[in-house]
Amino acid sequence: MEFTFLPKSNLRNTGFARYAIKSYSVNEQNAIAYKNSGFYYIGKNSGNIEKLVKVFKRGYASEGLENARAELNRSLDQEKNVVPEIIFCEPQFGFSSIKNFCLFLRSHKELSSIPFVLDATNLSEKELNLYRKHKLLDEIIFLNEYDEKSLYAKGSFLKKIKSKADDLKIYESSKEQSINFSISDVLKRAFDIAISSVVLLIASPLFLLIALAVKLESRGPIFYISKRAGKGYKIFDFYKFRTMHVGADEKIAEFSHLNQYNAGVNEGPVFFKISNDPRITKVGAFLRNTSLDELPQLLNVLLGNMSLVGNRPLPLYEAATLTTDDWAKRFMAPAGITGLWQIKKRGKEDMSVEERINLDIDYANKYNFAYDLWIMANTPSALFQKTNA
């Protein structure tokens, strides 16, 4: 791979460089950079930089966090602000320094919307857990495990999520300025805490029995934990009892032809659900048919990531297809265990993607505490599904 190595900045000892595919001249590159500034890499790994140039076509690199901070500040001071699309960082600078850099990005409106990604290739398990616990970063990846196609998809998804999250923050901010507080929201949260706490306490013996059954039937963890996108595209750890064999997520492509949502459609919003899914265990089928697999989500409710009633939090590959202005409105409502589409369509194979999203948007438009109570009153009849999808 050949690069055009463009002049360093005027700052002394910054270790800063710009990279571009060689076919562009310096003047052409500068013209394009204003529209598409590419990546920013913080570190010295030339192999990673080469991979990123292949993916994003152009980019910047600094050897350290202070160099990067100086260059980003300089870009903000220019008449035509040119900031990167996405920032990648090596981990050797240490947790404290990377935390301070994250706070620096968040302190600037123009920089706070840029996805910040940490390459965890050389991190120990203890260090990795520290970053996960504090949730400072937009994503933690092992860069050496990504090919160009998957890295491009990851970057595109993160940029969409950050963009739409900012849009929704602006919407919520304007909403809060016009209404100091909502009694309905206070009642909803108080109700969530009270009910989830009581049910978790009462159902603790049942938790133990289900955990034992899951463990005895098949190898693997008791809980299925995955990243989900909730209100405002906020990403959190989502809990369920494991109902599938280990590695089921890796077989989505293998069973895509069985998807009951618009099979054969390759564009637009994507949901994935299979009737009589072959990946489901026997215990898992029972848990799904009785909705007992959903019980651990009460922990999400107690933590504030979800509500008892709301739109279902989506796997990231599904949320990535719902970032257009029309579809994103569903993310203005809280994520919930049960919701409008569950009581109206759950277990029915004739539900289209559009129907499901429109129900989510309908809930987002008019949700309030009284409406939640009505949905909860109609939920028991939907608990026993017609299929194990």
211 pLDDT more than 60: yes
12 in a domain, yes or no?
no
Cα 158–161–162 angle (5° rounding)? Answer: 85
Q: Tell me: the pLDDT tens digits for 124-148?
A: 888 988 888 777 788 888 898 888 8
- Mean pLDDT in the chain? 76
Residues 334 and 218 in one domain: yes
Q: What is the DSSP letter of 113?
A: T
Task: Retrieve residue 353's tokens.
Answer: 């993607």
Structural domains of the chain, count: 2
Q: Tell me: the pLDDT tens digits for 233-261?
A: 788 999 999 988 876 655 555 555 555 55
Residues 137 and 205 in one domain: no
CATH number of the structural domain spanning residue 96: 3.40.50.2300
Q: Tell me: the pLDDT tens digits for 78-130?
A: 655 578 889 999 999 999 999 999 989 988 888 888 889 999 988 888 898 88
Residues 126 and 207 in one domain: no
Residues 54 and 125 in one domain: yes
